[in-house]
Structure formats: C-alpha cells, structure tokens
Chain A
Amino acid sequence: MKGTLRLTRLALRRDRVQLPIWLVAAMMLLYAGAAAVKDEFPTEADAATALKGAVTSPAVLLMRGIPVGVTQGALVNFRNYASLLVLVALMSTFLVVRHTRQNEETGRSELIGSAAVGRHASLGAALTHAVIANVLMGLLSTLALLGAGLPAAGSLAWGAASLLTGLSFAGIAAVGAQVFSTARAANGFAAAAIGVAYFVRGVGDALGEVGPDGIKVTSNWLAWVSPLGWGEQVRPYGDERWWVLVIPLLFFVACAAGAYALVNRRDLGAGLVPARLGPPAAARSLLSPTGLAWRLHRGTVIGWLIGGVLFGYGIGTLGTTVNDAFEENKGVADLMGQLAGGASGGLVQVFYAAMMAIFGVLAAGFAVQVLLRLRSEETAGTAEAVLATATGRIRWVASHLTIAVGGAALLLAASGLAMGLGDASTGGQTSIGTLVGAALVQLPAALAVAGFVVLAFGWLPRISVALAWAGLVVSIVFGMLGDLFGLPQAARDISPFSHVPAVPVADAAALPLVALGAVAVGLAFGGLALFRRRDLTS
C-alpha cells in the first residue's frame, strides 16, 4: 500500500482538466433539467396527466425508469436521473481503467512499480481517486439541485445515490482491469456492464406494477439486480429509501477486495486471460492498410453488431405493446414525439422513429470509437511504422474511415432488420424494408459526427480524443434531449440529429440528408487536408 497517497496525487494531477469538465458538464445538465421541468409542467395536475400515460408504456419505463411522484423533484428524477447515473458510471469506469490497466499497458506502471511503492498502490490510488471524484460529483449534484430550488432531503439522496452508483462501477472497472490485459478490453467490459445494468434495470421497471394512484410504480425484482437499479430504488424526491444505499456500498467494498486479491494472482502486464500463439505468417487478407484496419477493428465491429441486433429486436417486439398502451394517452405520444424530433403520426411509427434516433447515436458512437484509433495509433508509434512504408497519409486515414463508414451503415441496417423481425414476431404491421430504410436515414447524421472526429484529428491532435467525445455528447444532449433539458432551438440545431427526418413517421426528405452528407464530407476533407500538412505528434 506504500505510495498510494502520492500516486493518488499524481492521478488527480493528470486529470486536472478532464475531471472538472465531467463535473461541470453534469452540474449544468442537472440545473438545466430541473429548470426545464418547471417551465413545462407548471402544475402538479399537468405532471400527473403526463405520468399516468407514461407508466402504461413499458418502453418508456425501460428507457426512463420509474416515476416516484408528481412534484417538481420527482419529475426531474423521472426525466434526468437515469441518464445522469449512466454519465457518472461512465466517468468512474474510464477513470479507474485509465489509472490502472492503461498505465500498465503503456509501461508507466513498470517505472512506478520499480520505485518504492507497494504492489497494490496503483489500484489503491485509482480507487481513492474514484472516491474523490464521486464525492465531488455527488456534492455538486446536490448543490445544483438545491440551487434549482428542490427539497433538501431529495437532493441529498440524489447526491448520495450518485456517489455510490459511481463507486459500484468503479469497483466493476477495477475487477475488469485486473482480468483483461488491455485497457481497450477493460473499458469495453465496463461499458458492456453499464449497458447490461441499464437494460436489466429497464426490464425490471417495464415489468413493474403500477400503484393505486396510477403514477407510482413498484419495480420488478430484476431492477434490484442492477447497480443502476440500486441508485434508482433510493427514490430521490419520492419517500427516499436511505437504507438502499447500503447495497452499492457493500458491492463496492466487495469489488475492491476482489480486485486487490486478483493483483496478487498475476504478473505485471498480464491479465488472467492468457495470450495464445498466433499464425507464423500473415494471411493474404491482412496485407493492405484496409486489411490491417479491419483486423484492428474486427472485434469492435462484431461487438457493436451483436448489441445493435439484440437491442433492435427487443425494440421491435415492444411495438405492438406500445400501440395498445398509447391509444388512450396523448401525453405519452407527445413525449415520444419530442424524442422523435416533434413528429406526430401513427403511434407505433412515432415509437419507432424515436428509437431510430437512438440507433443513429449508436452508429455515431461506433464511428467515433473506430476513428479515434487513428490517434491512438499515432501516439503508440504504430502509425509511424505504417507511414514510413509506401502507405501515404490519406490512404492510411481512408483505411480506418472505410471501416467507420461501412461499419456504421452495416450496424444501422442490421439493427433495422432485427427491429423489423421483432415487430413481425409479435404480429406488427411495419414492413422490414421500411425499418431498414428508417435506420439508414440516420447514417448521414452519424457520418457528420465522424467527419467532425476526422477534423479534430487533423487539426488539434493532442485534444482530439476529448473533442471527439465532446462532439458526440453535445450532439446527443443538444439534439435528442434538447427538449427535455429545455435548450433553445438555435443550440439544438448544432446537433446533426436535430436535422434527421423522423422516418417512418415523416418522409425521408432528401434535402437534410444530402446536406448532412455534404457536411460530413466537408469536415472529413478538411481534416484530411490538415493532417497532410502537420507533424506526427505523440
């Protein structure tokens, strides 16, 4: 344990820019979300009408969580709580992996490990850092909510739940960082854990029972299996259940103990999953820049495809349920309409259009992940090895772009197809072709985000990773959730997703799609031109 304190200080120093950005962004979102509720639902009666509709739809419960009341605080909870917990979880997992496995992978740990620090110091420092970051996040959340004029007890419960939810995921990431031998795999594992936790929590809520007032919902036991569910079950602003906080606390302690034990069982740099021998010579298919790019991204592409297909199929099977539930409820239909960019039409169509926007974001997220490989290859030095051969810079970027564009298109088409199959399996009427088409309509917007990543890489390589993710988050928050957070139209228009026609409700208007495509191409060309002129930097 020796040296933990100093390593913690080092970790905090390395994150002195990144951490405040996470904290301030979360605080601003919370404050804006709380203010938006006040504008949209001036009386509790308005809120009650909307919520009574919402709870009849399993899809809404799955995405949003359960309502806990009709007060302003309860509405903020219903609209923003689940997504903020995800944000906190992401912050915590990235943070822990960055300061454990990533250090080890880059060899920094070796340097530190040879100094007078204990074997567990690195893990201890990462977890201490996670505790500090999450305490700050919880504290600032509470202050933001109090600042928006919400009751003290609920605000405090929110902050505490945020703290402990963050720690649960820090614990999961700590274990993942011991088991997997690369930061990429450990981050992937942690992100998958967040996804599964969200889904399990969602299913638990969707299967919940509506109470006698027609608003409050008691979740099914499944929600209690998920770390995100624990945070939710604290129910800030709705008869807070403080004792639930004990569960994530114990879970964190157990994960941390597990990770400590695992450190003793492996060598520095190794994981618990041993590496196998590879082929002695390269297959023909590897021998080109694109062949190499495919090899590097193969796992990512397949992982996203499986996720997209499962999620798409799941959404497809909900279509008819939504139809039945929405028939009487204008309020929910409006809510879905907001998500789908203000569309109105057949209820199932509105539902699908809203879901397509989510797939658009997924495709953009996939493209961001693939394209950021350019930067990590550059900093690692493998880009130098390739660019010192007869491979030109444009050809090298193009090889990764090919995977990003092709993969995003494939991901959308496969998700649309799976959604159509899901719809058909429950007796829905929407054709598979329509849904595949509706999914592909999202492609230009996803590519606009991809173009932005290429521009960031060509122009400002040193901060391109932060810029790329910030671009994606801004696109999501300003585009899809702009309404829920009460942002002005001019701000929402920044996001490419604000301009996507809400197919299948609306027609696939050519103009916005062509314009988005042109923006994507323009950004990418700008990025390529700048990359050709600049030095390679580490």
Chain B
Amino acid sequence: MSDALTHAIHVEGLVKSFGRTRALDGLDLAVRTGEVHGFLGPNGAGKTTTIRVLLGLLRSDGGTAQLLGGDPWAQATELHKRLAYVPGDVTLWPNLSGGEVIDLLGDLRGGLNKQRRDELLTAFDLDPRKKARTYSKGNRQKVALVAALASDVELLILDEPTSGLDPLMEEVFREVVRAEVQRGGRTVLLSSHILSEVEALCDRLTIIRDGRAVETGTLAELRHLTRTTIRAELAGPVDGLAGLAGVHDLRSQDGQVSFAVDNTSLEQALRLLAEAGVRGLVSQPPTLEELFLRHYNRPAAAAGVTR
C-alpha cells in the first residue's frame, strides 16, 4: 500500500522473451511518484519493450510490475485513464487532421484541457488542420506530445519523445515538461538517448542494457561512480600517486602530471598533490556521457560486476 503511494512504477525481475530472444532479463525499475525518471539505454536494450509491458500491450513472462498501484495487464483499461503515452515512432491515421487526432486521443483517455491544448499548439508551432499523412516525423511527434501533455493525468510515459524534433522544439519540450512537473501531481518516465536532455530534466535515472538495469540512482549518485580527470602543474615531484588505488592513466613530464581518479580516491590524490605543491590545476568533472559510454562499450557479461 505504502509502495503504491511512493512509487508510480515498480518493476522487479521483469522477464520478456520473443521466441529465443530474451528482450527483458530480470529488469528492475522504480519510479517514485512526482519525479522525472530518465530511462536510458542503447538501441535494442529493452526500453520500448518495458514500456509496452507497462502499458499492457505485451504480457510479461516473469517478474512483477506495478503501475500506479495496479496490475498493468489485468487492469489496463482503468489505469490508462490516469496516464498518457507518447510512442517513439508515432503513427497517425493518414486521413485525419492533427487537431482531430489530438482531440480523439485526449477524449479516449478521458478528457482534454482545451486551453492547454491551444497553448501547446502555439508553443510547438503546429498547424492542427493538416492531414496526418502530410506531417513529418517531428510534426507527428508534436501531435502525440500535445495530446499527452494536454491530458489531465498523473503519469506521462514518453518514449524518446524528441527524436524527431529540431533543437528549438527540444527546448520547448524541456520547458513544457519542467512546467508540468512544477505544477505538481505529475510523474514522468522519459526514455531517451539524449544525455543533455536527461541531465536537464531528470531527478533520477536508470540505465539499462541487454534487458537489465545496470545503474540506477540520482545524477549525483551516478557521477560519484565515475572518474574525475585531473591535470596539475607541480612545484616538486609527487610521491605515492602511482601506488594509490583508483588512479589511472598516470603520466608525468616536466613537472606536469595528468591522471584520472575514481571519485572515491579523489580526496587522497589531492592531498598528495598539495604536499608536492600545486602551481596550477585543471580538473574535469565526470560527465554522464562517460558513464554512459562505459556501460555501452562494456561486454554484457561484465556489466553487472565491475562497479
């Protein structure tokens, strides 16, 4: 009961196979009520499959999934009144106009805020009179976004919602989502590849790979797991740096040292530098990108172990 209140989505050990392919292999995902949760992973990692299980479009083969306190398969229809979904690849009925599709989807969800609809149409600069067959990918995505964001729902499930939008519209999207969350009462699950978008919007995030969650936490927590790159100009030679656990790629030449250090050993490394006398120092904070690449490039078997 308390879990249902604190978590909009709670998935444990989710398994889904298509024939011999295991698309989800014991996936865990917890999205707290009221947060924007980033859902990252390379193509084919299982992001869309997870979302489709959460929407009751696919039936899971194992594990548990809770959505807004209910069973996403058995109670799909009731739960769908409380959420809105934007698919990654939006297809629309070619002979309906954009405005018609927005009203239809909104109404099928149980109602649409007309004023919000018009505001969003203006913000996204979308002509609702055009037939869907004449829209570009980006414009089809705008149609789905307007329909979802103008619905008065608790949970937004957005599957790579900006993959067809231009940078200007991406910015509009960010502003709109931020405003939504500030108004309160909304939870967002945002699947994405775009790191800057996730950094800008998300409170917490989960990285998945090969159907499993490999990292989850707040941005700060995840940064903690990465390395800071340091370059320093020193007054004298530095001792013990090479022997310190957590220091990598150490190079020193003419009083210049450069190395990468695990954030757990950062303090010790800095103390050693200070003892040698620091004349200049450049440090590069860890980027999400590094974190991301580390997980993407690593072979699957090692992914869970080498934290």
Contact = CB atoms under 8 A, between A and B. Distances in A.
A431 interface: no
A282 interface: yes
A317 interface: no
A531 to B, nearest CB: 12
Interface stretch (A67-75, A386-394, A490-498): A386-394
Contact of B96 (A181, A276, A288, A295): A295
Interface string B76-98: 11101100010101111111110
Nearest to A271: B133
B103 A282 contact: yes
A488 interface: no
Contacts of B104: 282, 286-287, 292
Contacts, number: 110
B99 A282 contact: yes
A278 B103 CA distance: 13
B128 A281 contact: yes
Given A385-B87, A389-B80, A296 B93 contact: yes
Interface string B47-66: 00000100111110000000
A277 interface: yes
Interface residues of B, number: 40
B91 A382 contact: yes
B304 interface: no
A289 B55 CA distance: 18
Interface string A490-523: 0000000000000000000000000000000000
Contacts of B109: 389-390
A535 interface: yes
A535 to B, nearest CB: 5
B24 to A, nearest CB: 13
Interface string B202-213: 000000000000
B255 interface: no
B100 A387 contact: no
A389 B108 contact: yes
B130 interface: yes
Contacts of A296: 93, 95
Nearest to B91: A381
A392 B57 contact: no
Contacts of A275: 131, 133-134
A479 B21 CA distance: 44
Question: Which bucket holds chain A's interface residue count?
Answer: 20 to 34
Contact of B91 (A181, A277, A380): A380
B134 A281 contact: no
B103 A286 contact: yes
Interface string A283-309: 000111100100110000000000000
A391 B90 CA distance: 18
A384 interface: yes
> Which residue, of A279, A282, A382, A536, has the highest number of chain B Cβ atoms within 10 A?
A282
A287 B106 CA distance: 9
A292 B101 CA distance: 10
Contacts of A286: 96, 100, 103-104
B289 interface: no
A380 B129 CA distance: 22
Contacts of A392: 76-77
A459 to B, nearest CB: 15
Nearest to B54: A388
A84 B268 CA distance: 87
A419 B116 CA distance: 54
B57 A536 contact: yes
Contacts of A281: 99-100, 103, 128
B44 interface: no
Contact of B92 (A288, A382, A391): A382
B198 to A, nearest CB: 23
Nearest to A291: B104
A535 B56 CA distance: 9
Contacts of A389: 80, 105, 108-110
Nearest to A391: B108
B155 to A, nearest CB: 12
Contacts of B105: 385-386, 389
A392 B105 CA distance: 14
A279 B58 contact: no
A187 interface: no
A380 B133 CA distance: 13
Contact of A280 (B89, B107, B129): B129
Given A390-B80, A535-B58, A279 B91 contact: no
A178 interface: no
Contact of B94 (A182, A276, A535): A182
Contacts of B92: 382, 385
B108 A278 contact: no
Interface in A371-388: 380-382, 384-388
A392 B78 CA distance: 9
A232 to B, nearest CB: 38
B97 A280 contact: yes
A279 B129 contact: yes
Given A278-B96, A286-B96, A385-B90, 17 more contacts: A277-B97, A278-B100, A281-B99, A281-B103, A287-B108, A288-B108, A292-B104, A295-B95, A384-B52, A385-B87, A385-B92, A389-B108, A389-B109, A390-B81, A390-B108, A392-B76, A535-B59
27 contacts: A275-B131, A275-B133, A275-B134, A279-B99, A280-B97, A281-B103, A281-B128, A282-B99, A287-B107, A287-B108, A288-B107, A292-B93, A292-B104, A295-B96, A380-B91, A381-B89, A381-B91, A382-B91, A382-B92, A384-B55, A384-B87, A385-B85, A387-B55, A390-B77, A390-B78, A535-B58, A535-B59
Interface of A: 181-182, 275-282, 286-289, 292, 295-296, 380-382, 384-392, 533-536
Counting from the closest, the 6 A-B pairs by CB-CB distance are: A278-B97, A282-B103, A389-B108, A381-B91, A287-B107, A282-B100
